[in-house]
Amino acid sequence: MAVEIAALPDMVRGYESIKERNVESYRAAVAEALRRFDELASPDRGSQ
């Protein structure tokens, strides 16, 4: 999981509008990866 998160900045490539789209995708991917990481780190968190 940590390797996946560490590799995410590689998504930000291209120039101008292409890079802007890639940044949007990167931010969404980071948010999703961190959400999954939090779930793995504390699986009983939702039962409180």
Q: How confident is the model at residue 8 (pLDDT cuts 50, 70, 90)?
A: very high
Tokens standing for residue 10:
């590689």
Answer whether 7's CB lies under 8 Å from 46's CB.
Answer: no
Q: How confident is the model at residue 46 (pLDDT cuts 50, 70, 90)?
A: low
| Domain residue limits, the chain | 2-42
Q: How confident is the model at residue 2 (pLDDT cuts 50, 70, 90)?
A: confident
Tokens standing for residue 33:
């990866």
- Tell me the pLDDT tens digit for each residue of 11-45: 999 999 999 999 999 999 999 999 999 998 886 75
In this predicted structure, the answer to whether residue 47 has a pLDDT above a threshold of 80 is no
Distance, CA of 44 to CA of 30 (rounded, Å): 22
